Amino acid sequence: MIHPQPAQTVLAVDDTPSNLRILTSVLSPAFKVRVSTSGAEALALVRTPPVPDLILLDVVMDGMDGYEVCRCLKSDPLTASIPVIFLTSRADAADEMRGFELGAADYVTKPINPAILLARVRTQVEMKSWREFLANKNEYLERQVRERTARVQKIQDATILAMASLAETRDNETGHHILRTQRYVEVLARHLQDHPRFRAELDKESIRLMVKSAPLHDIGKIGIPDHILLKPGRLTEEEFAVMKTHTTLGRQAIERAEAALDGEDQFLRYAKEIAHSHQEKWDGSGYPLGLAGDEIPVSARLMALADVYDALISARVYKPAFSHEVACGIIIDGRGRHFDPDVTDAFVQNAGRFAQIAEAFKDEPG
């Protein structure tokens, strides 16, 4: 069953009752007509249901004239979108220009020609309907885009976690390592985002992407043979040389993903930096390239400290879990040698937060 659409509403404003009767007679077969005999009354009526779809407004009225009423309507966000057609006996171009400058949609001159009036009212009402339709459509499409973008991001996050977890499951001692280190990186980045050395790099979006990328820091371990990765003890020099290749293997894996996208993606940029350079040291004694100081990407400097802290507080076959206090001492001792001095200082100021994260995501005894 097709239901008829409700009639659209026109508010006619004129201080001459006979004019209002004519307007009502012309418009009422097609529209619901409300009338007002003054500008002040019209401004009150326009805010009470049903809100008019169009306003016919006499220019010359006692008290508040049509120009002032129009100015009030267009300055109020609640009524600014309602089209206004001026009714006037004036034919002066300057008067018309003044009305258009105030936001009027059209002019109809008196004496009124019913056919012309009806046609112009219909045109403006239809245009308003289309504007509202397009606005609603755009809002709907934007909402759909937001929802789908959020969905894609959730899928991306889940995929990242699955990939990182795959690497971690091959090293069964690491437990919740990726969850903890991801949060450590975020704490450091947010602390440093206003620091003069880091302000340009650590904007809100960059921090979001770095945090999202952090779980992929050891993705290259998938390529390390089991007899080395899972060895229950310290590695030989030759074995350690193989282990160190996980940084390059991680970068290469991410570069292959990058190639599939036909160009560098900001997220993959940080993932690549972190995977390749998180074992570099501030003094240049790290690997794989022996980068030093600011040559090391910021994202990798944050990850380096987060990774070492978590390794220190975690038990391994070759070492017991160190206490938070001992780990802090080792980190501080590495200031300017292993770690960026300012990143180390940020850690010191947030050491309590690191301890809270470690406790919240501690590994289950097994």
Give the DSSP H or E segment for 13. Answer: strand 9-13
Tokens of 242: 């193989």
Q: Specify the CATH architecture of the domain 9-140.
A: 3-Layer(aba) Sandwich (3.40)
- According to DSSP, the residues that pair with 316 across neighbouring strands are 319
Report how far residue 96's alpha carbon sits from residue 98's, in angstroms, rounded to the nearest whole number: 5
Report how far residue 295's alpha carbon sits from residue 273's, in angstroms, rounded to the nearest whole number: 11
Residue 41 φ then ψ, to 5°: -65, -40
pLDDT for 91 beyond 70? no
pLDDT at position 322, please? 95
pLDDT tens digits, one per residue of 297-350? 999 999 999 999 999 999 876 778 999 999 999 999 999 999 999 999 999 999
pLDDT at position 265, please? 62
Report how far residue 343's alpha carbon sits from residue 84's, in angstroms, rounded to the nearest whole number: 62
Residue 108 φ then ψ, to 5°: -130, 125
The structural domains of the chain, with segments of one domain joined by +, span 9-140, 170-360
pLDDT at position 325, please? 96
pLDDT for 262 beyond 70? no
Report how far residue 176's alpha carbon sits from residue 185's, in angstroms, rounded to the nearest whole number: 15
Poorest-confidence range of 21-30, 107-116, 131-140? 131-140
* Mean model confidence pLDDT for the chain: 88
pLDDT for 239 beyond 90? yes
Greater confidence (255 vs 304) lies with 304
Tell me how far the alpha carbon of residue 48 is from its chain's centroid.
Answer: 37
Q: How many CB atoms lie within 10 A of CB 60?
A: 15
Report how far residue 344's alpha carbon sits from residue 161's, in angstroms, rounded to the nearest whole number: 27
Greater confidence (256 vs 210) lies with 210
With contact defined as beta carbons under 8 Å apart, do 23 and 112 qualify? yes
Greater confidence (64 vs 134) lies with 64
pLDDT at position 1, please? 39
Q: Provide mean pLDDT across the span 61-90.
A: 91
DSSP conformation letters of 33-54 = EEEESSHHHHHHHTTSSSPPSE
pLDDT at position 164, please? 64
Poorest-confidence range of 179-188, 198-207, 228-237? 228-237
Collapsing DSSP to helix, strand or coil, 178 comes out as helix
Q: How many CB atoms lie within 10 A of CB 329?
A: 13
Region 170-360: CATH code: 1.10.3210.10
Q: Pick from 55, 26, 24, 60: which is nearest to 42 by CA?
A: 55
Tell me how far the alpha carbon of residue 306 is from its chain's centroid.
Answer: 27
* pTM of structure: 0.60
DSSP conformation letters of 322-356 = PPHHHHHHHHHHTBTTTB-HHHHHHHHHTHHHHHH
pLDDT at position 3, please? 40
pLDDT tens digits, one per residue of 264-288? 567 788 999 999 999 999 999 999 9
Report how far residue 113's alpha carbon sits from residue 104's, in angstroms, rounded to the nearest whole number: 19
pLDDT at position 219, please? 87
pLDDT at position 130, please? 86
Q: What long-range pairs does 157-165 form, CB within 8 A, spacing at least 24? A: 157/212, 160/212, 160/213, 160/215, 160/216, 161/215, 163/215, 163/216, 163/219, 164/215, 164/216, 164/218, 164/219
User: If you ran DSSP here, which 8-state letter would residue 109 be given?
Assistant: E
Reported residue count of the chain is: 366
Query: Whose structure tokens read 């002019």?
Result: 107
Report how far residue 297's alpha carbon sits from residue 271's, in angstroms, rounded to the nearest whole number: 11
User: If you ran DSSP here, which 8-state letter would residue 282 be given?
Assistant: T
User: If you ran DSSP here, which 8-state letter would residue 232 be given?
Assistant: S
Q: Provide mean pLDDT across the span 234-259.
A: 89
Greater confidence (258 vs 228) lies with 228
Tokens of 250: 């991680």
pLDDT tens digits, one per residue of 140-164? 778 887 877 777 666 666 666 666 6
Angle at alpha carbon of residue 7, lines to 4 and 10, rounded to 5° = 170
Please list, in sequence order, all residues whose beta carbon lies within 8 angstroms of the beta carbon of residue 153, skipping any fewer than 6 positions away: none
Torsion of CA 101, 105, 109, 112, to 10 degrees: -160
Q: Pick from 229, 259, 258, 231: which is nearest to 244 by CA?
A: 229
